[in-house]
Amino acid sequence: MKLHAEKLFNDPRVKEATKLLEDALSEHKSALKKVKAPDKELKISYKKLIDSFSQVRGGNLWYPYLGSGLGNGALVELLDGSVKYDFISGIGVHYFGHSNLDTIAPSINAAISDILIEGNLQQNNDSYLLSELFLELSGMDHCFLSSSGAMANENALKIAFQARFPAKRILAFEKAFAGRTLALSSITDKPAFRKGLPQAINVDYLPFFDPEKEEESLEKALKVLNSHLARYPNDHALLIFEPVQGEGGFYPGDERFFKTLFKRVKEEGILIFSDEVQTFGRLDTPFGFQSFHLEEFVDLATIGKLSLVTATLFKDKIKPGPGLLSQTFTGATSLIKASLLLMSKLKNEGFFGKNGKNFRINELFKKEFQKLEKQFPDKIKGPFGIGAMVAFTPFDGSKEKAVAFGQKLFEAGVISFIAGDHPTRIRFLPPVGVITEDDIFKAVEIIAETFKNSP
Ligand SMILES: Cc1ncc(COP(=O)(O)O)c(C=O)c1O
């Protein structure tokens, strides 16, 4: 051991302290075994806290959620003493569940590291190793780390615009969600999300794949694409797509649909950008574009959410010039170290493939939802989605009813979120890394009970 740092990280006292913390967490988390209603006394002060927090942040929280700081896999304890199934995992972040013992060692390592947060001027070896891992998983040439999906997407847009200068426009799909910066709000296809904002980028939309009208939807998209290309010749820098539309309502794409459009797009020299902030890690391959066999087309891809550290991955031929990309923060040291460990698990522990855990979990959800559909034929449609992205439409798909059902489900002990408009669906991004069959059965019982109590 030549480095003093190696001596520190391998110090037996550090190992012993880590073991003690693992034992303590293991013992306390095991107390959380099942869904539990709020504690009557805590409930009153909790309500006040939630109201104050909403006041402080200048808008209501979506759910009256304040975590206690402890969970157990798919279960999480809230500050009102309730225990709930977390099937949305902070919108897809905590794929390896709550209070995961594996993350103690990297977190302790980070806590005794010299810096709390890494960034462009100061990165430790873990940043390099994580970048290499993302390159290996993606097959891309370069990886630039960042600290939010939006920032990863901004970096991708900048790389593409610079490479395709002076092209000014982009192509995107209807119902796209790309993030919430000023530029990304121009792409995200939701008027409410850009109300009052100037249009920062000119976007030409294409209709997305419709599984009920495969041929027709392809023909229509191709026609619209050709008309945009004719109207603005040589003026599109890139086409952005989500392999499975996430916020738009959990709509998977289709290999032939994508390939046909992408061939045409490539004829014009336009770059193709796969926004995988939501899909990364959730299908039968690490990246969604691999699942649809689009490797030859994709020039840029971004990841986020479950990767904990976000990244922009790109081909060598569009390498940006010096000065285009830089950031004070790329990620907290603890997150970079935890991501390195968890992404290695994701790669090696049976999550991918047609029989991998992502797809097996989907099958289980599907079977259970089909039973629910039989039980409540007027109240539920679905299931929809793919892999570790599962959704159903409650009632008539109206936003009001879906939101109200989600709130009821939360009270009953299952945390979900909505996606899409007309119809609005209830969606799950479950913690596949830790979820058990029993968790799914119990959560579905709660969903059934909630449907029973919802006229
Ligand atoms: C497809 C997609 N792109 C980008 C983003 C933005 O990521 P973030 O919220 O981390 O900025 C999201 C977030 O939901 C997303 O689903």
Whether residue 71 is contained in a domain is answered as yes
Beta bridge partners of 67: 78
CB atoms within 10 A of CB 156: 27
Dist. CA 144–CA 432, nearest whole Å: 27
Residue among 62, 240, 251, 278 whose CB has most ligand 1 atoms within 8 A, to mutate: 278
Whether residue 17 is contained in a domain is answered as no
Residues 78-94 pLDDT 10s: 999 999 999 999 999 99
**Residues 144, 64 share a domain:** no
**Residues 358, 332 share a domain:** no
**Residues 117, 87 share a domain:** no
Q: 307, 331, 348: which is the final residue of a domain?
A: 348
**Residues 177, 305 share a domain:** yes
Q: 329, 348, 367: which is the final residue of a domain?
A: 348
For the CA of 179, the nearest atom of ligand 1? 6
Q: DSSP letter string over 398-434?
A: -HHHHHHHHHHHHHHTEE-EEE-SSS-EEEE---TTT
Residues 54-78 pLDDT 10s: 999 999 999 999 999 999 999 999 9
Cβ neighbours of residue 311 under 8 Å, at least 6 residues apart? 131, 134, 143, 144, 145, 146, 152, 302, 303, 304
- Residue 33 pLDDT > 90, yes or no? yes
CA of 10 to the centre of ligand 1 (A): 37
The residue contributing the CA closest to ligand 1 atom 5 is 179
The residue contributing the CA closest to ligand 1 atom 7 is 149
**Residues 258, 174 share a domain:** yes
Whether residue 226 is contained in a domain is answered as yes
Whether residue 257 is contained in a domain is answered as yes
Give 60's DSSP letter: -
* CATH value at residue 147: 3.40.640.10
Residues 187-218 pLDDT 10s: 999 999 999 999 999 999 999 999 999 999 99
Dist. CA 102–CA 90, nearest whole Å: 19
How many independent structural domains does the chain possess? 2
Closest CA to 37 of 98, 85, 88, 81: 81
Give 319's DSSP letter: P
Q: Which two tokens stand for residue 332?
A: 């907290």
CA of 449 to the centre of ligand 1 (A): 32
Whether residue 193 is contained in a domain is answered as yes
Dist. CA 205–CA 362, nearest whole Å: 30
CB 159 within 8 A of CB 320: yes
Beta bridge partners of 390: 385, 428
CB 274 within 8 A of CB 173: no
**Residues 385, 333 share a domain:** no
pLDDT of amino acid 1? 85
Q: 333, 348, 363: which is the final residue of a domain?
A: 348
The residue contributing the CA closest to ligand 1 atom 13 is 179
Residues lining ligand 1, CB < 6 A?
91, 148-150, 153, 177-179, 242, 246-247, 275, 277-278, 304
**Residues 397, 414 share a domain:** yes
Q: What percent of the chain has pLDDT above 70?
A: 100
pLDDT of amino acid 455? 82
Residues 348-384 pLDDT 10s: 999 999 999 999 999 999 999 999 999 999 999 989 9
Residues 427-445 pLDDT 10s: 999 999 999 999 999 999 9
The residue contributing the CA closest to ligand 1 atom 3 is 178
Whether residue 190 is contained in a domain is answered as yes
Dist. CA 261–CA 318, nearest whole Å: 21
For residue 86, the enclosing domain spans 25-100+353-452
Whether residue 1 is contained in a domain is answered as no
**Residues 293, 169 share a domain:** yes
Residues 276-323 pLDDT 10s: 999 999 999 999 999 999 999 999 999 999 999 999 999 999 999 999
CA of 178 to the centre of ligand 1 (A): 6
pLDDT of amino acid 88? 97
Phi, psi (deg, nearest 5) at residue 395: 55, -130
Task: Report the pLDDT averaged over residues 381-410.
Answer: 96
* CATH value at residue 398: 3.90.1150.10
3 state DSSP class of 243:
coil
Task: Report the pLDDT averaged over residues 93-111.
Answer: 98
- Residue 165 pLDDT > 90, yes or no? yes
Residue 132: which H helix or E strand, with range?
Answer: helix 125-138
CB 165 within 8 A of CB 324: no
For the CA of 278, the nearest atom of ligand 1? 16
> Could you check whether the bond before residue 198 is cis, i.e. omega within 30 degrees of 0?
no
In 3-state terms the chain splits into helix, strand, coil percentages (rounded to 5) of 45, 20, 35
Residues 235-291 pLDDT 10s: 999 999 999 999 999 999 999 999 999 999 999 999 999 999 999 999 999 999 999
The residue contributing the CA closest to ligand 1 atom 8 is 149
CA of 44 to the centre of ligand 1 (A): 35
CA of 37 to the centre of ligand 1 (A): 32
**Residues 179, 38 share a domain:** no
**Taking the CA of residue 176 as centre, how many other CA atoms within 13 Å lie in the half-sphere pointing to its CB?**
29
Task: Report the pLDDT averaged over residues 333-338.
Answer: 98
Residue 269: which H helix or E strand, with range?
Answer: none
CA of 171 to the centre of ligand 1 (A): 18
Closest CA to 243 of 305, 155, 176: 176
Q: Which two tokens stand for residue 281?
A: 């890690």
> Is beta strand 414-415 parallel, antiparallel or unpaired with respect to 389-394?
unpaired
Closest CA to 287 of 347, 366, 357, 349: 347
Gyration radius from the chain CA atoms: 23
CA of 242 to the centre of ligand 1 (A): 11
Whether residue 7 is contained in a domain is answered as no
CB 439 within 8 A of CB 447: no
**Residues 270, 141 share a domain:** yes
Dist. CA 107–CA 61, nearest whole Å: 29
The residue contributing the CA closest to ligand 1 atom 10 is 149
Residue among 277, 307, 329 whose CB has most ligand 1 atoms within 8 A, to mutate: 277
Task: Report the pLDDT averaged over residues 106-121.
Answer: 97
Task: Report the pLDDT averaged over residues 126-141.
Answer: 98
Mean pLDDT over the full length of the chain:
97
pLDDT of amino acid 355? 96
**Whole-number Cα distances in Å, 296 to 263, 271, 320:** 10, 12, 20
CA of 179 to the centre of ligand 1 (A): 5
CA of 154 to the centre of ligand 1 (A): 11
Residue 273: which H helix or E strand, with range?
Answer: strand 271-276
**Whole-number Cα distances in Å, 48 to 51, 53, 70, 226, 404:** 5, 9, 21, 56, 22
**Whole-number Cα distances in Å, 374 to 31, 218, 365, 381, 393:** 35, 33, 14, 10, 14
**Residues 311, 202 share a domain:** yes
**Residues 410, 332 share a domain:** no
pLDDT of amino acid 99? 98
